[in-house]
A and B are shown apart, each in its own frame.
Chain A
Amino acid sequence: MTTTATRPSTVDSTGRTRRRRRVSAGRIVVYVVLVLALIPVLFPVYYAFVGSVMPGGDLASSPPKVFPTGFAWRNLTGVFDSIPLATQYLNSVLQAGVITVAQLVTSIFAAYAFAWMRLAGKRFLFAAFMATLMVPAESIIIPNYLHIADWGLLTGTGGMTPGVLLGLVLPFLANMFGTFLLRQAFLQFPGELRDAAVMDGCGHLRFLWRILVPLARPSIAAAGVYIFLTAWNQYFWPLLVTRSPGQQTLQIGITQLRNAEVGDLGLVIAGVALSVIPTLLIVLFGQRYIVRGLTAGAVR
């Protein structure tokens, strides 16, 4: 099992300077290639933010402008008139929040059982649970949709209701990805930890929540960030189970905004810019958690 620890930064300094002198021409090529590659990568990001304050004429002219000729605040404020963006933000926070918390709880319990407890038929159960990862959500989306409809969770008018929220989150309250990740994390701790806890008269429940969970906090955070991002970005399921703009999540709202405001591209881009801010912050400042979560499957 390989560790995920980052490579020590203490690099032989003499070797480093020697190399730098030798391949400086090559290094320039590397920079040029990287910067050239960055242009198409960053351009849509640039456009999402600069376009959000471009006057309508800049965007609808032919050919369109790359640099703004003015500053249009009204795009950003106009979004709120066109769709209930604040409500949809809240909906997304609720939906992704509930999914994240619930999935962490169910995963922590299951991961602990699989990692630390005596359990008849553990191998079989673990394999069976893991098998759920092999079923693509899209292949069972029709019956899931019909069930949610049958249970009366598709009704409701206007705003978000507990029923609609249930419909949004129910299929995602547990997932083996998080369970697997946490099981791997729990397995890292030595068995003596539990022995010592038992000496102190600590039961499984107490040991799990008082000792193991605090110790595994980085892994849990990594799993949480990953689950949150996945839930936040969902598209197909929320598209099916929400009816009115007041119930929709941000992702669906943004798409509806595009359909509704075909004549006002500035508004549409502004909607994108406003809705991408939270995830952008996560990528900028929570990168190490993302990497931990992402690579749990890749590096082991």
Chain B
Amino acid sequence: MTTGGTVPRAPARHTGEHLMAYLFLVPSALVFGAFVVWPLGDSVYLSMHGSDLFGGASVFVGLQNYTDMFTSGEFGHVLLNTLLFVLLTVLPGVLGALVVVLLLESQIRGARVLRTAFALPFAFSVATASVIFSVIYNYQIGLANGILGFLGVDKVGWTTDPHMAMVSLALTTVWMNLGYNVLVLSAGVGAIPGEVMEAARLDGATGVALARRIILPLVSPQIFFLVVVTTIQSLQSFGQIHILTRGGPDGATTTLVYSIYKKAFAFGSSDFGAASAQAMVLLLIVLACTGIQFGVLQRRVHY
């Protein structure tokens, strides 16, 4: 493909063009420098210092914050919670959307309307979705328990039972992400050339066979993309935990990001040192995830 990448020949203006190109990059570079690079350095600095009464960095403590973190059983729980949250949100979220999209693409009438209906949760922000679910989850007067009661089932402590709270959070998150996932996968299926589908159909492939043999392999890049993106999103989730469970009950929903918040800003705590040490762990985990993404994509896509 001929693209803009082929630069017109005009040797005399090279230096000027280089300069101008740098100039074009300056605004972005300033923002990244001030709000990504510099804070990264500060995070490392903070994580190696104690905190004074007001959260300011006090004395140098070396790796103390890190050793404290790894030797406390609490942090192990936090990591497990984070992993659990990711598993409970990513797998059902992607698989659910995949099923919906495959059904939608089975040449039914009204697929567009249905797709839009499935995409509606996308309109909800984490705050609005969590507030609505908090009303539904309310133990004594919430609709979720109201419906269970109607069915003759015992009430469930949606956000108050430590075994249930993570599931409730995941349900909310999967619901929020469903619209996004459906849109991405639909676009992926939509991008499959019509001739390919038709050829497959003329070969007699229908329903499950068509989905398994033709559609799934062709949308695997989108599936992979979604898995990575929603994993990273889940790792960064904060709003639903802050609004629905505040990390509880009994710490059952304290994920890495919430733990950082708890140490740094909640309950009168301002232990920026310990919080920064945890932030570095978050950074490394997300780096690993994106590294995997880039690694896999790099092999398929040539920049």
Q: CB-CB < 8 A to A137: which residues of B?
A: 236
A260: interface (CB < 8 Å): no
Chain A residue nearest to B7 in the complex (CB): A118
CA distance A240 to B178 in the complex (A): 28
Q: How far is the CB of B11 from chain A (nearest CB, A)?
A: 10
CA distance A290 to B183 in the complex (A): 8
Known: A23-B206, A117-B24. A3 touches B149 (CB 8 A): no
Cβ of A139 and Cβ of B123 under 8 Å apart?
no
CA distance A295 to B182 in the complex (A): 11
Cβ of B128 and Cβ of A142 under 8 Å apart?
no
Cβ of B257 and Cβ of A138 under 8 Å apart?
yes
Cβ of A109 and Cβ of B125 under 8 Å apart?
no
Q: CB-CB < 8 A to B38: which residues of A?
A: 143, 147
B248: interface (CB < 8 Å): no
Cβ of A45 and Cβ of B121 under 8 Å apart?
yes
Q: CB-CB < 8 A to B264: which residues of A?
A: 142
Stretch of A74-82, A153-161, A273-281 contacting B (4+ beta carbons < 8 Å)? A273-281
Known: A30-B108, A299-B221. A62 touches B146 (CB 8 A): yes
Cβ of A139 and Cβ of B128 under 8 Å apart?
no
Q: CB-CB < 8 A to A218: which residues of B?
A: none
CA distance A233 to B233 in the complex (A): 13
CA distance A113 to B7 in the complex (A): 11
Q: CB-CB < 8 A to A174: which residues of B?
A: 27-28, 30-32
Q: CB-CB < 8 A to A45: which residues of B?
A: 120-121, 124
* Of A30, A141, A198, A275, most B-chain CB atoms within 10 Å: A141
Cβ of B279 and Cβ of A138 under 8 Å apart?
yes
Chain A residue nearest to B218 in the complex (CB): A2
Within 8 Å by CB of A142, from B117, B118, B127, B275, lies B275
Q: CB-CB < 8 A to B194: which residues of A?
A: 7-8, 10-11
Q: How far is the CB of B279 from chain A (nearest CB, A)?
A: 4
Count of A-B contacts with CB under 8 A?
Answer: 345
CA distance A51 to B143 in the complex (A): 11
CA distance A269 to B232 in the complex (A): 30
Q: How far is the CB of A273 from chain B (nearest CB, A)?
A: 9
Q: Mark B164-196, 1 if CB is under 8 A from A, else 0.
A: 000000000001001110011011101111100
Number of B positions contacting A (CB below 8 A): 121
CA distance A265 to B180 in the complex (A): 28
Within 8 Å by CB of A276, from B123, B143, B276, lies B123
Cβ of B188 and Cβ of A139 under 8 Å apart?
no
Q: CB-CB < 8 A to A280: which residues of B?
A: 120, 123
Known: A132-B36, A235-B239, A251-B127. A204 touches B20 (CB 8 A): yes
| A residues 1-41 in Cβ contact with B at 8 Å | 1-8, 10-12, 15-16, 19, 23, 26-27, 30-31, 33-34, 37-38, 40-41
Cβ of B17 and Cβ of A118 under 8 Å apart?
yes
B296: interface (CB < 8 Å): no
Q: How far is the CB of B284 from chain A (nearest CB, A)?
A: 9
Chain A contact-residue range equals 35 or more
CA distance A1 to B14 in the complex (A): 30
| B residues 106-129 in Cβ contact with A at 8 Å | 106-108, 114, 116-129
Q: How far is the CB of A102 from chain B (nearest CB, A)?
A: 9
Known: A10-B194, A119-B22. A129 touches B238 (CB 8 A): no
Known: A138-B279, A138-B282, A187-B3. A233 touches B198 (CB 8 A): no
A-B contact pairs, 8 of them (CB 8 A): A7-B190, A7-B193, A7-B197, A62-B140, A110-B28, A115-B4, A117-B17, A272-B131
Residues of B within 8 A of A (CB): 1-8, 10, 14, 17-18, 20-22, 24-25, 27-32, 34-36, 38-40, 42-43, 46, 96, 99-100, 103-104, 106-108, 114, 116-136, 140-143, 145-147, 149-150, 175, 178-180, 183-184, 186-188, 190-194, 197-198, 201-202, 206-207, 221-222, 225-226, 229, 232, 235-236, 238-239, 242-243, 257, 260-261, 264-265, 272, 275-276, 279-280, 282-283, 286-287, 290-291, 301, 303
